[in-house]
Amino acid sequence: MFFRKSNPSHDGESVELQKERKYCTDACLKRYLEARNWNVDKSKKMLEETLRWRSSYKPEEIRWHEVAIEGETGKVYRANFHDRHGRTVLILRPGMQNTTSMDNQIKHLVYLIENAILNLPEGQEQMAWLIDFSGWSLSTNVPIKSARDTVNILQNHYPERLAVAFLYSPPRIFEAFWRVVKYFLDPKTFQKVKFVYPKNKDSVELMRSYFDVDNLPTEFGGKATLQYDHEEFSRQMAQDDVKSAKLWGFDKHQSNGFGGAEVAPEPECLAPPLS
């Protein structure tokens, strides 16, 4: 189906073709089929567009040192807990915005989406998003164009990767922004967005059906303390960059003189590794 290559030998393949082969797993093809309601032609077109985007944007080659400044405030990071289904959890805090470059902000988010996927347990294909609106205002809000670009990347190039996105206690002023953004969402993505209000019993119960309250931070109605240590997180990401390079075969390409993504050494300012 689609254009899976029949030749089992990888000798002589370009790095790009090897990356495509590694990307186009059976699980990947299933996600694209599900995203297009099992229409093979539409799914094939969607996958081809993703492969062109990945060839140009090279999300698997982004390294933490390139986007670390975006993460200094913890505005987006991978949580140290999973939901009840074992999904990786990304915490987004738009009120902690600390930069102005929209391109870099999107690059940072793409890096963390790739990292979330890298850290999915075996057999799990999806992640969950928790969005905390503490401190959010129109002055920290992203422009509509950037929001649309972000939505398009998530929907078109990471189909069926998002299981659910909880928007926790958004302020009333957010409603005006949402009325515009929701038109960019396809029906499948729209259904995954859940508004949660701490005084609404039904939405709180929905939240607890996805998360253990002992793991869930108090900012989302749980009992845990939400802590973001940039140095510790940077150390984790540096380790994951090595794991990612190995997964995509960049470590081999480097040793053979092919180039590929660089794996940055761990920043000197970080604490020494735990013994």
Per-residue pLDDT of the chain (275 residues; tens, 9 = 90+): 555 444 444 555 788 888 999 999 999 999 999 999 999 999 999 999 999 999 999 999 999 999 999 999 999 999 999 999 999 999 999 999 999 999 999 999 999 999 999 999 999 999 999 999 988 887 767 788 888 999 999 999 999 999 999 999 999 888 888 999 999 999 999 999 999 999 999 998 999 999 999 999 999 999 999 889 999 999 999 999 999 999 998 876 544 333 444 444 444 333 333 33
| Strand spans (E) along the chain | 76-82, 88-92, 127-132, 162-168, 193-196
Residue 161 neighbours by CB distance under 10 Å = 19
Pairing label, strands 162-168, 127-132:
parallel
Let me know: does 31 contact 125? Beta carbons within 8 Å.
yes
Task: State the sign of the Cα–Cα–Cα–Cα dihedral 107, 254, 250, 246.
Answer: negative
According to DSSP, the β-strands at 76-82 and 88-92 are: antiparallel
Which pTM does this prediction carry?
0.87
The confidence score (pLDDT) of residue 256 equals 38
User: Mind giving me the DSSP string for 165-191?
Assistant: EEEES--TTHHHHHHHHGGGS-HHHHT
